[in-house]
Chains A and B, each alone.
Chain A
Amino acid sequence: MQKKAFYSFFNQSKYLAGARALEHIPIELHSYDAVRPLVIATKDVTASGFKKIFVKAFYDSDVTIGGFYDNVGGTAAISTIKELRILFHDRGCDSIIALGRGPAMDTAKGLNMLVSLGVDDIFTLEGEDTISTPLKPFFTVPTAGSCGYDMSNMAVIEHHRFKSDFLFPDVVCLDPRMTGIKDIGRAVESAMVALTHAMEASDSTMHNPMNDAYSLAAIQFIHENLPRALKCPRNREAALALAYANALAAVAFSNAPAGAAHILGEALNKLTGNDPGVCMAILLPHATEFMVGKDILMRDELLLAQAGMDAHASTPEKDRIKESENQLKKLMASAIKYVPANLKSLRIPPYLIEQAAREAEASGSHGLTFKDYMTILNNAGKAPAVR
């Protein structure tokens, strides 16, 4: 721990995790004096039967669902948000619950800014710390597979970014009936985003004990449960643990600067449309290797989270960093079916790779330069296809 450095840490969310977590939502709403939530869900929710379970969880409570909007598509759109405002006011709602994947959460966050702050154009709030009053109670019920932002203090709406501590969900409800893995590929991708966020948050030179508690827990969850989920995607416990890891990693990410793999992964996603999880997963081992080489520390405690106490204690101190990298490679290798081992297999033209490095440099992290980013990208491009 860097004892002298100043740090600040915040996480608003309360987690309800496990059996019958959904049924606890009414009582949580009650503690906010809320009785009419508007539910915002992604399209897949009704088809996969989640809607039915969700609505049933409110039976025998005093909560009326003001409306169940289950038509959020692949991204959050401002037009939807504006229409939802009409629905929200028409039904006299007093709180918002987002159900499903990332776009539903972003839509809900956008709507919350709109209805709580009384602005007409939320894009005036773009940027960091532009909100200074609390918003309406906002709960999330994630399903398997997150984009990494949904439970953080950020929202992305039509490529506009919003960041404020008031955007954290108040309650994150992780119910095994909702977090069950339907598409293992997507689950792996989101676990990789979470792993990248957690590793880079705990890896950063700005780490602190509070944030470590979140990031190391997320890393431990992923290392323990991703292999289990890969072996048997129907393993509900593993799926719940991965969903929990997504939530915790989002907090760690909210409280730390973005790392190299995250920045490059996002840039590649924007330029090529490849899934950010896949890009980050390919880049993460190379980014950490580069950071270790640059002496931007890869800490000894990572191995503890990755491999557990016994393995960490029995590895000599000088070998721990190496072993930690091996553990990461081992995990990636186990998921090779869903995340390729090198960038080459994504067939990205060289000029786009260069552009990604340039964009990464512009957003800046750890003072890495264009050359540094290119080194990471080149290493990731050259890596052997089999790990």
Chain B
Amino acid sequence: MILPKYSEFCGRVKTLSGASALEAIPGELKKMNSKKALIITDKGVESAGLIKIVKEAISKKGSKLTVGAIYDETPPDSDYKVVNSVASIYRNKNCDSIIAVGGGSVLDTAKGVNILVSLGGDNVLAYSGAGAVKQRLKPLVAVPTTAGTGSEMTLVAVIADHDRHIKMTFVSYFLLPDIAVLDPRMTKTLPASITAFTGMDAMTHAIEAYFCLGKNPMSDTTAFKAIQLVSKNILNAVKNPGDMESRLAMANAAALAGIAFSNSMVGLVHNLGHATGAVCHVPHGVCMSIYLPYGMEYNLHKVGDLIGELLYPLAGPEIFAKTPKKQRPRATIDYVRGLNEELKKATGGRHATALKDILDREGKQMVPRDAIPVIAKNAMGDGAKTYNPEEQSFDDNIMVIEAAWEGKPLDLKKIKKGPKNQKF
């Protein structure tokens, strides 16, 4: 195992996992002296009937926990005004903990609300920046409803100021949820295509965590486990949506991948993925699954050995043993491409494998060819590139995005290569 010269690791979230994990929430909150919870969620989650399940689960016999209020109007882009107003609901109803049910934006909103109600004040923006929050906050329970983002394990909250068109980031270990609840009932109703790309999102977190610059021993083992779980379960979860075992395994994988990537950070795939999402409004997971093989190809000369090791959790020990060491990096990349193809088949073509094939609801192409330079430019301002093993210039970005647009493998000869064999 590689022990870097210096590394940090923190996975300070209590994980509850299982087919009836939701039922354990009251007990855990009781340990933290909480009696009345505010549920924060969005319309999509509410209309899928998930809030009903949560409410039933936490008011089972013997539970002393009551629900103070339910806020279900969280916008898809968390906004500071929403945060401020939800905080006043919390105060008016005398709540003493938050249960966030939903994806990234719900959790970001909940983190913002938690800052305000714990530390006081009317405007959450006063606490923005790195390390401005220096105290333990009130209990926060995260119930993810997609198995992919891993945001239940991250210490960052992004809250937008739509008047000034800026996104404020809040970074502190105290923003980590106290409890993450992984319950397969929350992901059971996800449509096949979303299961596919959120699963590949988790896979991308884990794979990038394994070879990017911030890797450390614990991010390695968590990433390794996550890749194993995704690889074994993703196709089954897509084909048999009701299979609770696969659903739970995927939720576990997403959480593990979340721990891995929030401690080791990520590289080119996320860098270009964020940019593509920002410019063309493509869902995050879709970009991830498309760019993933390119991210590996681009860094092949620096971290080829590590990429080769990934064949083990992806394809299993038999294939790993059969493949000669030299061919393993290539085999890993081919395996990921193959997995994407299979997912494409399993979702009836909805799981795109090239940028040009991404279609929106009306069947319109989402990433036009002339958006490539804009994406490449946008990517220059995204933090993930810092942790990519190889340098990324504007021209490099163009090259990679063009290949991903066409869906053709990268021409390895065209990559400008720094010194080989990355040291950590």
Contact = CB atoms under 8 A, between A and B. Distances in A.
A209 B225 contact: yes
A309 to B, nearest CB: 5
A314 B16 CA distance: 35
A30 B312 CA distance: 42
B73 to A, nearest CB: 31
B6 A3 contact: no
A309 B312 contact: yes
A42 B21 CA distance: 42
Nearest to B131: A31
B242 interface: no
B20 A240 contact: no
Contact of B225 (A9, A11, A213): A213
A9 B1 CA distance: 24
Interface in A1-23: 1, 3-21
B172 interface: yes
A6 B245 CA distance: 12
Interface in A26-55: 30-33
Contact of B8 (A1, A15, A210, A216): A15
Given A7-B17, A33-B135, A132-B33, A1 B6 contact: no
Contacts of B414: none
Interface string B77-101: 0000000000000000000000000
A274 B9 CA distance: 35
B321 interface: yes
Interface in B160-194: 172-173
B252 interface: yes
Interface residues on B, range: 35 or more
B1 A224 contact: yes
A312 interface: yes
B371 interface: no
A212 B225 contact: yes
Nearest to A238: B3
B12 A12 contact: yes
Nearest to A4: B19
B1 A220 contact: yes
A132 B321 CA distance: 50
B16 A240 contact: no
Nearest to A164: B31
A313 B17 contact: no
B18 interface: yes
A214 interface: yes
B15 A6 contact: no
Contact of A213 (B136, B172, B173, B221): B221
A241 B320 CA distance: 27
Given A21-B6, A209-B229, A216 B15 contact: no
B8 A209 contact: no
Given A1-B252, A4-B18, A4-B19, A14 B221 contact: no
A102 to B, nearest CB: 22
A244 B217 contact: yes
16 contacts: A3-B245, A6-B16, A8-B17, A8-B24, A9-B14, A9-B15, A13-B10, A14-B8, A17-B8, A209-B256, A213-B259, A237-B3, A241-B3, A248-B217, A313-B317, A313-B318
The 8 closest A-B pairs by CB, nearest first: A6-B18, A18-B6, A14-B10, A313-B321, A313-B317, A10-B14, A33-B134, A3-B245
Interface of B: 1, 3-21, 24, 28, 31-33, 131, 134-136, 172-173, 216-218, 220-222, 224-225, 229, 244-245, 248-249, 252, 255-256, 259, 309, 312, 317-318, 320-321
Given A14-B12, A14-B173, A133-B33, 13 more contacts: A7-B18, A8-B16, A9-B15, A18-B5, A30-B134, A209-B256, A213-B256, A220-B221, A244-B3, A309-B312, A309-B317, A313-B312, A313-B321
